[in-house]
Structure 1
Amino acid sequence: MLFGRSLLNHYFKYKRKVIQNITEINRRCIATCQSPKVLFFGTDNFSLPSLQKLHQNKVEVGVVTSFKSPANCVRSYAELQKLPLYRWPITAEQCAAYEVGVVVSFGHMIPLPIINAFPSGIINVHASLLPRWRGAAPIIYAIMKGDTKTGVSIMQIQPHHFDIGDILAQRELPIRSDIHMPELHSALSQLGADLLLDTVHNLKDQLAKATPQDEKLASFAPKITSRITEIMWSEQTASELYARYRALYGFKCLTTSFVDKQVQLIEVQQPQQQLAASLTPGQFTFHRGRKSLMIGCAGGTLLEVTQIRLEGKKPMSAQDFNNGFLKRAASLEFTRNKHVACC
């Protein structure tokens, strides 16, 4: 009797597990069957996770990318996975087999005939909470301006202008006060890939619920130029410069000048404790205990630098810079970077 009851319990447990598995398989099949055929536009390592997410979840996808760079990771993935691959620019006829276009960090304005070639238009994954930080460098500006949160937006592509279309979906991400750009870039690329997959699986509903952006809240993150690296010691506090350093980390170095030579600040931090140093903006001293340069900034604040590169030299520690240059220098002061100022 006990044996029969135990066997019956096992049978019902097994039956429930089989039903759950079948339900999950059916759910995935329905989502896959309903997913539109996607033509993906992308070029870089921010684009790649989105392409991988679509492909690995059985969304039928073709790829449009630039063939100029041999190091194009999107092109390499498409070739490795034998995905349909198109060289930019493309024609409207090449889009005819696809329901929707998806743009992720593509870098090219999409013309109206291409947008109109897709029955559901083109959607874009943008690395900010639009309408904040429209433009080419939203991640850099979010860190540089001290934002405490950012995120990703899925929006409809409109002709002639970047990042103005209606919003289909958004997802937030907090910004730590010590985060550096590559870490946030990676986190947002993964967040964008997840949100894109959800959006593609529910495209008709998301398009129907799309909402216009509030133009009053718009801010802009234009393309980065060399001017953004220039330090204005009398105008920028140590906190502002450290935020800019973290925002540009891995991409560009902050720059200044010393005895008419350009200097790049390679490793920068804020002192963990307030140090008793009275330095005017741009003036610096070598702190032997910390083996670093302490530089005066606006508002009586101090910036700490542990590694620099002097024009024509290899990167060196602050201690090597002190031993090799400072002892015979006529002035211990960084000045405006003339190489950038004249550009």
Structure 2
Amino acid sequence: MRIVFAGTPEFAAVALKSLHEAGFEIPLVLTQPDRPAGRGMQLQASPVKQFAVAQGMRVAQPVSLRLDGKYPEVAREAHELLQSTPHDVMVVAAYGLILPRSVLDIPKRGCINIHASLLPRWRGAAPIHRAIEAGDAETGVVIMQMEEGLDTGPMLLTGRLPIAADDTTASLHDKLATLGGGMIVEALRKLEQGVLEATPQPEAGVTYAAKIAKEEAALDLAQPVQVIERKIRAFNPFPGASATFNGVSVKFWRAVVAAETTTAAPGTVLAATAQDGVLVACGQGVLRVTELQKPGGKRLPAAEFLKGFPLEGGRFG
């Protein structure tokens, strides 16, 4: 079976690697254009492009696929490339571009998406973040037949995964990427054999995982401690949850719900020691912060952070 693959970040690169190692023919890879990154803001290829180039795969990086969009000539060239590239199916994983009907109709067997949630819960751009933030007990991967709606297509395969109490978006991402890589190979094998069955998504339980905005990083310490702790894990590694201390933005990278109770005002630093970490009063409960970062500094365990940034007796805004 010949596959056109469309994807951009590491989640997609894991799937591309799985398909390559499984022996599928991949005559074309689509990925987002190179973007500035790092301190020097040098152009950097996506993880998918890096893997594809290393394997000698043909790569295209159109900025749009919409013939009626801002870049119709670019989209037309991309359509012509897809139409002239012999393939049976397109596999899509966190590509980042909308696939219009004109693209969905090109592959003989349609377009199949690897989505990191238990659909119909968390359709949209940030399903891993939102599942952790909401306190979901489990998540998973759905292999889905694509249609024009946002993650509305019928489900082909479902894999479930528990969310651990200490999972961050980074750790859960890696688990789901590995799960998705194995599942897409299984799905395509079943498609080859003619035994891949589609199931419509339930109408009940639809939620949307909106894209993460940097503004969400600012913690409201008047919220219950459980809500704050989940946000810290959900926003690790991006955008990084933060609170201000004497006008300085301090990022909270790791924290747990403490056993202590308090009647102090939210944001009050109850303790800040090498032994206890940083205990912060919340609207309901106490947060124990164990890894922090000041602007321009490194992520540090609380004991190391406090050597250069004392907090005891102060209050986070």
Q: Give the alignment's TM-score, normalised by structure 2.
A: 0.83
Structure 1 contact 282–333 (Cα < 8 Å) conserved: yes
2:120 paired with 1:131: yes
CA–CA separation in structure 2 for the residues paired with 1:162 and 1:312: 38
Structure 1 contact 168–206 (Cα < 8 Å) conserved: no
Following superposition, the deviation at residue 262 of structure 1 comes to 2.5
2:66 paired with 1:77: no
1:247-286 CA deviation, whole Å, 9 max, x = no partner?
2222222122223332322342333xx2354422222222
Give the length in aligned residue pairs. 291
CA–CA separation in structure 1 for the residues paired with 2:250 and 2:181: 39
Distance 1:49 1:314, change over 3 A: closer
Farther off after superposition, 88-97 or 244-253: 88-97
Map 1:84-103 → 2, pairs under 5 A = 84-88=58-62, 89=64, 91-96=78-83, 97-103=86-92
Larger Rg: 1
CA–CA separation in structure 2 for the residues paired with 1:201 and 1:266: 41
Among all aligned residue pairs of Structure 1 and Structure 2, give the percentage whose two residues are the same amino acid: 30
In structure 1, the partner of 2:281 is 296
| Residue identity opposite 2:203 in structure 1 | E
Following superposition, the deviation at residue 155 of structure 1 comes to 0.9
Please, which of 206, 213, 218 is the counterpart of residue 230 of structure 1? 218
2:221 paired with 1:255: no
In structure 2, the partner of 1:19 is none
In structure 2, the partner of 1:334 is 316
* Secondary structure, counterpart of 1:264 in structure 2: strand
| Residue identity opposite 1:66 in structure 2 | Q
1:35-82 CA deviation, whole Å, 9 max, x = no partner?
x21100011110112111111111111211123232322112212211
In structure 2, the partner of 1:275 is 260
In structure 2, the partner of 1:59 is 24
In structure 2, the partner of 1:211 is 199
Following superposition, the deviation at residue 302 of structure 1 comes to 0.4
In structure 1, the partner of 2:73 is none
2:251 paired with 1:264: yes
1:181-210 CA deviation, whole Å, 9 max, x = no partner?
222111111111111111111226456x31
Structure 2: state its 5+ residue gaps: 36-43, 65-76
Structure 1: state its 5+ residue gaps: 1-35, 336-343
2:184 paired with 1:184: no
CA–CA separation in structure 1 for the residues paired with 2:165 and 2:211: 23
CA–CA separation in structure 2 for the residues paired with 1:187 and 1:213: 24
Distance 1:92 1:182, change over 3 A: same
Q: Give the alignment's TM-score, normalised by structure 1.
A: 0.77
Higher helix proportion (structure 1 or 2): 1
After TM superposition, the runs of 4+ consecutive aligned structure 1 residues lying more than 4 A away are 310-327
| Residue identity opposite 1:223 in structure 2 | K
| Residue identity opposite 1:215 in structure 2 | E
Structure 2 contact 31–60 (Cα < 8 Å) conserved: yes
Farther off after superposition, 261-270 or 240-249: 261-270
| Residue identity opposite 1:198 in structure 2 | E
Distance 1:199 1:311, change over 3 A: closer
CA–CA separation in structure 1 for the residues paired with 2:147 and 2:206: 16
